[in-house]
Structure 1
Amino acid sequence: MEASAAKPKRGPETEDRYRAPALDKGLDILELLSEQPRGLTRGEIVKAMGRGPSEIYRMLERLVARDYVSRSAEGDRYALTMKLFMLGHRHPPVRRLVARALPLMDEFAREAMQSCHLVVPDRSASIVVAQATCPGNWEFGIRVGTPIDLFGTGSGRTLLAFRDPHPSGHAAIEWQSDAIRAKLSAIEDELDECRTLGYRIGASRQIRGVDDISVPILSESYAIAVLTCPYIQRIDGKEQPEATYVLALLKDIAGRLSLS
């Protein structure tokens, strides 16, 4: 099972070059509310941002009017709507990949008797964009829309093993940081093994008793996504496919989704 990732940091050079205070203010509010599942009052938002009440009020009203933020019935608490999530899923490449992957993932879940999820890279992090649950009266999975850490999860490390070594734009700045270079160096042997094998199997770094089986979906030799099954071994004596068979199923799906 894979836990939430820390929010990617913006590069200081990008922040300082072209400033748009009103836009920054709105984005700051959205990022603040994204970390608050129960929302915040206007006073709490003002305090957290260190800005004047009137400017925060005007920005909140615009975000409410555009349906990025909702106001509670009592009118004193603000929370994110699903609009950002829906906009993200309108991104054509992701939408096409999910549309192709979901039927295959559902078929996998039925045959493997395990859940699986699809993860795509998002700068120096990644996000779950699709999930399939196994049939029966129990399941174990991860919610769509969950951000996950690249370094602390099986999906993330598989993305790292097959990442494009020549990122562009803002990603290039992030990947050149000393902190990320040090983290990559510390796990380079594991990433080399993953590249050699073409997949990764390892104990979950969050949940005891779960083995993450991850296979990359490739464009040429770089990962555009990763399929992961959080494999659970039953102890009640009921038959289930072995991990090797589950891996073979995932590899077949990844091969059908990969771009030559």
Structure 2
Amino acid sequence: MDDTTDKYRAPALEKGLDIIELLASHGEGLTQGEVARSLDRSPSEIYRMLSTLVRRGYVTRSLSGDRYSLSLKMFSISQRHPPIGRVIEHGLPRMRALTRRTWQSCHMGMESNGDIVIVASAESPGNWGLALKTGTVVGLWNTGSGRVLAAFRSDDEIEDLIEQHRLAVGEPAIDRDGLSGHIERIRNLGYEQMPSTTALGVTNIAFPIFDPGGRAAAVLSCPYLERVDDLKVPTLEEVVLLHGQLARELTAIYGGTSEADVWRT
């Protein structure tokens, strides 16, 4: 740990979090002494922390008073802020900031009962751009969003997705072999970069936003348009890098993992 990190530590908070994480692994509860020994802390400081956590409702004491367990308060708090809603809420201002840097539109897509739906969208700040409206349903196998959502799922989940999927407007029938090839390539690369199959001159960039289970819960996409006038804007390579950084940031907000290695063959 460097000096800067150490400077901003909050020891009391860390002790409380250590206790919560420890109790989360012991559903039967622990005594004060067991908590102290496990965390290599003195019984007196553990007693003060446990008393505070009990008073705030995060920890409960057994009827005999000698064992401590987590309450359901943490679960209750987590339910007040659904993770996908949180990703969209935190993602939109970041997406708008990204469009101002790249001069490109971007959007976020999710799967809903087999449909690939745009759930958030940010337009380019310029006079023109290509932006998908929120609520738009796009294709599964012929779009970056659809391919990435499929790529980071198990084979059984992919089959279920294909079975449920209803073709979007203009989407050709799904080519199973073609989709399998795209999925293998995306898993190896970690994202999708492809010429648009719906509009000429557009390069689709799509990055997964992972959930805690390592699945693509959502996709951050950019329909990249190359400018040929005198306005100096980021290159395609720079736009890819910036969208990858934001996707990893949104993955962290979701509490997911940004590692795609598990999907690589």
Normalised-by-shorter TM-score class? 0.5 to 0.7
Unpaired runs of 5+ residues, structure 1, are 1-90, 177-181
Residue 175 of structure 2 aligns to a residue in which SS?
A: helix
Which of residues 180, 184, 189 is equivalent to 2:176? 184
Q: 2:89 aligned with 1:99, yes or no?
A: yes
| Alignment check: 8 A CA contact 1:163 1:223 kept | yes
| Alignment check: 8 A CA contact 1:114 1:229 kept | yes
Residue identity in the other structure for 1:153: T
Residue 144 of structure 1 aligns to a residue in which SS?
A: coil
| Alignment check: 8 A CA contact 2:114 2:162 kept | no
TM-score, normalization: structure 1? 0.58
TM-score, normalization: structure 2? 0.57
Which of residues 169, 172, 185 is equivalent to 1:193? 185
Q: 2:215 aligned with 1:222, yes or no?
A: yes
Bigger Rg, which one: 2
| Alignment check: 8 A CA contact 2:129 2:225 kept | no
Q: 2:163 aligned with 1:174, yes or no?
A: yes
Q: Give the equivalent residue in structure 2 for 1:123.
A: 113
Q: Describe the shift of the 1:172–1:141 C-alpha distance in structure 2 as closer, same or farther (beyond 3 A).
A: closer
**Bigger relative CO (Cα 8 Å, ≥ 6 apart):** 1
Q: Give the equivalent residue in structure 1 for 2:35.
A: none
> For 1:230 and 1:186, how far apart are their aligned partners in 2?
21
Unpaired runs of 5+ residues, structure 2, are 1-80, 166-173, 258-265
> For 1:173 and 1:104, how far apart are their aligned partners in 2?
32
Q: Give the equivalent residue in structure 2 for 1:208.
A: 200
Q: CA RMSD in A?
A: 2.8
Provide Cα deviations, 1:223-251, integer angstroms capped at 9, x if missing partner. 00001100000122321111111111111
Q: Give the equivalent residue in structure 2 for 1:114.
A: 104
Residue identity in the other structure for 1:201: Q
> For 1:173 and 1:201, how far apart are their aligned partners in 2?
22
Residue 140 of structure 2 aligns to a residue in which SS?
A: coil
CA-CA distance at 1:210 after TM superposition? 0.5
Which of residues 141, 148, 158 is equivalent to 1:151? 141
Q: Describe the shift of the 1:172–1:118 C-alpha distance in structure 2 as closer, same or farther (beyond 3 A).
A: closer
CA-CA distance at 1:148 after TM superposition? 1.1
- 1:19-58 matches, cutoff 5 A: none
Equivalent pairs counted in the alignment come to: 166
